[in-house]
Amino acid sequence: MKYIRTLLLLILCTTLQAYADEVPTIDPQATFTTDEGEETGTSYSGSAPLTVVFHANAENIGAYTPHYEWRFTKEGATQPYLVRYEEETEYTFTEAGSHRIVLYATFINGTDTVAYTKDYWQDAQPITIQISESKLEMPNAFSPNGDGINDVYRAKSNYQSIVEFDAYIFNRWGQKLYEWHNPAGGWDGKFNGKDVKQGVYFVLVKAKGADGRKYTIKKDVNLLRGYTETSGVNPTE
């Protein structure tokens, strides 16, 4: 009799464990695409625009029918500003501030429901994204002399969270020589494929930051073809 009770208990435990292994689970993760490449995790702090792919990472779905609801909320808000219903979804962040992303997932199999919703997220860690405030500066000069140092006129490397960008180079007569529309781009000191003369040119930049700040930058640009590192002049200042 004792042997039978032990055997029944073992069967029950095995059945319960098998059932537990079959219950659907989620493990939300995000893949962040930056200038340095891709990284996956549940938090990120950096500059906009930032493209992120969100993964539900659901397991043990079996015969259950899944329903997904990604909720994007800004810090201090009570309602999401965006809701997505895919198992995997992509979004590009262009607004500064703190963003909180949670996945409401419900799995239904007949009368059996497994839910990861409001109660679950009371204790679970959401995906958090911090988008920095914007910053943009343009240098006064550059030296396109082929030495591999400061050969291209572009935004200073400390720019961040710039979501709109238009830059134009003019000569002293107001003729447009070049334009570019990404802060990572720039002017190599050429017009129609030929080097322009050393001298003073003019840049006009209109841009917008993730924090809503608008930039209008107008300044002279000194093109210094004879500059070398030992000349004592820093053309990026």
**In the chain, domain spans:** 24-131, 141-223
Other Cβ atoms within 10 Å of 136 Cβ, number: 20
pLDDT band with cut points at 50, 70 and 90 for residue 9: very low
Beta bridge partners of 75: none
> Among candidates 22, 19, 21, 46, which has minimal Cα distance to 32?
46
24-131 and 141-223, same CATH topology: yes
CATH of domain 24-131: 2.60.40.10
**Greatest extent of the chain over all pairs of C-alpha atoms, in Å:** 105
How far is 20 from 106, CA to CA, in rounded Å? 16
The DSSP output letter for 2 is: H
Do 90 and 65 form a contact (C-beta atoms < 8 A)?
no
| Per-residue pLDDT band at 230 (split at 50, 70, 90) | low
Alpha-carbon torsion (179, 157, 215, 153), positive or negative: negative
Question: Which CATH number applies to 141-223: 3.90.550, 3.90.1520, 2.60.40, 2.60.120?
Answer: 2.60.40
Residue 190 CB partners (closer than 8 Å, separation 6+): 144, 178, 196
**pTM greater than 0.75 (yes/no):** yes
What does the alpha-carbon distance between residue 114 and residue 229 come to, in Å, rounded to a whole number? 66
Res. 10 pLDDT band, cuts 50 70 90: very low
Terminal Cα distance for the chain, rounded: 90
Of residues 138, 131, 183, the one with CA closest to residue 162: 183
> What 3 state SS string does 104-155 have?
EEEEEECCEEEEECCCHHHCCCCEEEEECCCECCCCCEECCCCCCCCCCECC
Q: What are the pLDDT digits (tens) for 42-93?
A: 999 999 999 999 999 999 999 999 999 999 999 999 999 999 999 999 999 9
